[in-house]
Amino acid sequence: MTLIHSSKVIMGILMICAVHLAHANSSIPLSDYFKDVWSTHEGLPHNSINAIAQTSDGYLWFATWEGVARYNGRDFRFYERSKEKGILDSGTRALVSDTNNGLWVAGVKGGITYRKDNTWQPHFAAPSMINHLIKDRSGDLWVAVEGLGVFHRAKPSTENAVSEEAWILQNISANKLLEDSKGRIWAATNKGLFQVNGQSKLEVLAQYNLPTLHVYSMLETHNGQLLVATERGAYFISDKSATLLHPSLAGEAITTLVEDDENNLWLGTIKNGLIRLTNNHLERLNTRSGLPNNRVLSILQDFEGSIWIGTNNGLMRLRKAPFSTWTKKHRLIGDYVRSVIDIDDKSVLVGSSEGLSIISNNIARNALPNNSNPISVLSFAKRRDGGIWVGTYLNGLMLWKDHGLLPQLDHKNGLPSDEVRSILEDSQGNLWIGTTNGLIKQDASGQQQVLTRYNGLPDNYIMALAEDDRGQIWVGTGVGVAKLTKNGFKSVPIHTLEDAEYAFGFWVEKGYVWIATDRGLIRYNQQNEQLGLVGRRSGLPIDKLFQVIYDGTNGLWLTSNRGIWRIDYYAAHAVAEGRQKEISFEHFSESDGLASAQANGGSNPAAVAMENGKLWFATAKGVAMIDSSSVSQKNTTRLPIAIESITADGVELTANQENILPAGTNRVSFNYAGLGYILSSRIEYRTKLAGFEEKWASRGKNTIAEYTNLAPGKYQFFVSARYPYSDWNNADEVYEFTISPHFWQRLEVQIGLVILVLILLASGIKWRLHRLQQSELKLKALVEKQTYALRQQSEDFQRQANEDQLTGLPNRRAFDQWLSEKFIRAKSKDITLALIIMDIDHFKRINDHYSHLIGDKAIKALAEQLKRLADDQKVHAARWGGEEFTLMVKGMSYDDVAAYCENLRQCIETYDYSGIAADLTMTVSMGVAFSHQVENYSDLLRLADQALYRAKDKGRNRVEIWQ
């Protein structure tokens, strides 16, 4: 087996990304971290997490009293007591990782082992339980032993030499070891702090007049300071003094220390939970706020910036969710937010059922004087002369300016309803006010006009307003969409797309208008007035969308009652145009920082995109914000990936096993994992088995690839992973293997068999030739007789295969072949082809009224007319099927084709069918498309077919040419 690891490179990339992300975002309050909890119910072997480590390949490791657990983001794998691995007892106390993808494991009964690249290297055991160990920069091993002290094991001088071992501290319980940047090795013990590689082995804290303290842990901070955790607080230790970390921690028993990549200090305590110190400000997390237990045993920050906390009763992860949410808890005036709008690049105005709030520099406050009456806000719009128009639930239209709210219009002075759900100030200075009982237009002079269904609106309940790049006003209602053109309101037939009715919101770009509806996202093409739908049929799992906004890069964000969705902007265009069937999406809900996954709609704007890339969303519990640039940045992160297991016919293969599989191996299976933990459930995979397939195979979120019936030969298995919308991880895991051939599949055996067969064939051929010469004369006569009969039969079959039996016209098969050939030739010679699809109007009525026999005669009569018309070399006619016929006209201009079709329609309409049945008449509808309109003949058929449907929709008995 050849397993190529790029873990060091990946670790470096992730570390850089994590640091960059951390410094790009200031520290958030401890209470705002998203919390995940694991216990034995979620797969841990034991609830006491004694130590946590992350190896450079990306795996997380947890030490418990029932063994070591390795975590890949989805499930845990246990490593229990094993002499072969060097784990002498399942109880594990110490996990220490290094930069070479190695992991030291130690614990009860003194077992010491080192794991690297799937191999275990047991070391000589210590005489008692090991609490911690380190390998210093010279390669020597230092071990902290419970009740016995610290011993030093020197690096062997040669490969087979026995390590020299010396006890440095004795008759003492050593808890933790640390090598600092100066090469000093410190030991935290139950009797104080010691430098074990110095000249003096005296306890260090005594020189600062500190009583003998139980020291649990140590940390060297980013600026080189030594921080010591004791039973009575934490102290910075220098050559001259010991300084208490914080006055509030003077009596706190602190067990473990971590400094994160934002330089915050995280402290675990014995009985008071977790403490974070940020700029000398303390925050606490305990069982009342979700911590599994107040005794914290271990802390780790992983490569993605999450904080993992091991307690005496389970494991917790704190992570920064993509979304930040402001609620009443953050001084927002009301939780039920209906609308949000940007004031400037640092501030937004938030409207809720209880009033107005401003969020500026991430701090929320009341947007009105504290003595103001509460007001239920529905909608916003920017005012050209400064301030924000405010639509309310009960008070009509108001103006927010200079932190005050001024009444403007209500039902007493012009509004048909005080419930204002949308507002728009257009480019001409007109103010549009959408209410639940009609639309108000107020021009710059103050003149008002009330617009309702009687003026062409679909409905009086106005929910959304927008102005497009052509200056047209768009109106969204609960019964459809209309746009105001120079000729008045024109209905936009969104109902043709799966019966869409509700139009909750618009987003306008040059040439297109996007509409959030109750059947998905609809795109309107300004140029050809065509509608396209991105909905359930294209992969979205929901119908009802409230708002659509563009993040300025490559994402369309959609709000709904079931969370917030992000789709690719270019993919949405492709789906709307029919160039792509499926669309991928990313879904955000409570697990991503939303206080409620229910986004609000029915009033506008329910979401807003700011120029700085921040997106704001109104929800049923607060207003949520996400920085779209951080999402894009996350999507560029390269994921570590590991092949966790390989099985061949049910037998698991290991890393040190021969990678030559036996002959007849039928099934090879690979289990792999992308080692990302924040969005582990969203990781996507692709695989490729070189030697079997040339292209990557998409696996979606499936972590198993299985291959069966592989031929003998050499193979390479590749797997890569990514977060949604990110680039594929180019540090692919590779596994090489060979399947041996059976005896008869070997090349030398096959060559021998081929030679033997050739000899037998040569002998047989010689004998057979002799017999054939004797039969040759007889066969010649028989062949000539049969050849003539076969030729006649072939001609009959050829005619039947390409000719319609009822009419004698070419059938659909023949016409398809003819069209594909002529279309390519016409395109190459720049000759225009016109395709006509003709359908007999209401043919079912002829069958029902006269009989199917009369219907067949009517079809034959029409076919005879087409045959006479098709005698011209420019026209080719065929029966398409049922009552449909096709005509292909070559070399005619647009007007000539139109005239030709109209003449043909009149001839069919006026033809005398009385010889078939009394009072029988027939009319036809025709759809026409031209070859210059398309690039392939299948699209030509589609356009002509759509033109035929237009002709039917417009009343039949007419010619419709595709425009």
Catalytic positions: 883
Peptide bond before residue 605 is cis, with ω within 30 degrees of 0: yes
For residue 938, give the H/E element and its range: helix 937-953
Q: What is the DSSP string of 51-89?
A: EEEE-TTS-EEEEETTEEEEE-SS-EEEE--BTTTTB-S
Contacts of 516 by beta carbon, 8 Å cutoff, 6+ apart: 503, 504, 505, 506, 507, 545, 546, 547, 548, 558, 559, 601
What length is written for the chain? 963
C-alpha gyration radius of the chain: 39
- Phi and psi dihedrals of 235, rounded to 5? -130, 140
- Cα four-point dihedral sign 238, 241, 247, 252: positive
CA distance 422 to 434: 5
Beta strands in 238-319 (DSSP E): 242-244, 254-259, 265-269, 274-278, 281-285, 296-301, 307-311, 314-319
Long-range CB contacts (within 8 A, 24+) of 343-348:
343/388, 345/610, 345/611, 345/612, 348/608, 348/610, 348/616, 348/623
Tell me the CA distances in angstroms from 391 to 339, 378, 409, 472, 619, one per residue in order: 10, 5, 10, 22, 18
The region that residue 58 occupies, defined by phi over 0 for left and psi between -120 and 50 for alpha, beta otherwise, is left
CA angle, corner 445, sides to 439 and 448, nearest 5? 25
For residue 848, give the H/E element and its range: helix 843-850
Q: Which of 472, 524, 473 is nearest to 497 (CA)?
A: 524
Q: Which of 183, 192, 191 is nearest to 142 (CA)?
A: 183
Q: Which residues of 409-435 are buried (b: 16+ CB within 10 A; e: fewer)?
A: bbeeebbbbbbbbbbbbbeeebbbbbb
- Tell me 609's DSSP state: E
Residue indicated by tokens 């794998």: 77
CA distance 305 to 465: 42
Half-sphere exposure of 500 (CA within 13 A, CB side): 29
4 near 257, Cβ under 8 Å?
no
CA distance 894 to 841: 24
Residue indicated by tokens 């014995």: 270
| 896 burial via Cβ count (<10 Å: 0-12, 13-18, 19+) | middle
Q: Which residues of 279-310 are buried (b: 16+ CB within 10 A; e: fewer)?
A: eeebebbbeeeebbbbbbbbbbbbbbbbbbbb
Q: Greatest CA separation found in the chain? A: 125
48 near 65, Cβ under 8 Å?
yes
929 near 947, Cβ under 8 Å?
yes
CA distance 867 to 869: 5
Tell me the CA distances in angstroms from 474 to 17, 434, 551, one per residue in order: 43, 11, 22
Tell me the CA distances in angstroms from 433 to 356, 408, 479, one per residue in order: 19, 12, 18
Residue indicated by tokens 């079709």: 901
CA distance 633 to 17: 8
**How far is the first Cα of the chain from the last one, in angstroms, to the nearest whole number?**
62
